[in-house]
Amino acid sequence: MIIIVQNMAYQLGLRIDGDPVSGCIEDRQSQTKWTVKLTWFHNTVCEELEQDATEERMMRYTRGYIMQLIGGILFPDASDSRVHISWLPLLKNLDACGRLSWGFAVLAW
């Protein structure tokens, strides 16, 4: 039994069509200085969201939460505690981010 890209779609709900995720995964052995601890996103960016939060605050919270998913589930590093900052530019436009083919990138990782 092997894992195939359709597993990424069925089990994780990731797209397997659309533009590829590229430019961020070529260096798995990146130095710590280019990473951020997942706990930083949890404690700083993803602190409790207020009921009347502004749209800017909600977008910052959303990007921080997605970075935690990227570093903790989709593309974990060897320590499972850090996320590489090179993923951050992909979250600038969340609509475009949602159209990317994440399934192939996760499978390749």
Whether residue 26 has pLDDT greater than 60? no
Q: Supply the pLDDT for residue 38.
A: 85
Look up residue 29 and give its amino acid.
Q
- Quick one: CA torsion of 64, 61, 101, 88, rounded to 10 degrees? -40
Mean local confidence (pLDDT), 9-28: 74
Distance from C-alpha of 17 to C-alpha of 98, rounded to nearest angstrom: 11
Distance from C-alpha of 70 to C-alpha of 97, rounded to nearest angstrom: 12
Q: Supply the pLDDT for residue 23.
A: 59
Total count of domains within the chain? 1
Q: What is the pLDDT of residues 65-89, one digit of tens each?
A: 888 888 888 888 777 788 888 888 8
The reported pTM is 0.76
Q: Give residue 40's domain range.
A: 5-108
Mean per-residue pLDDT of the chain = 81
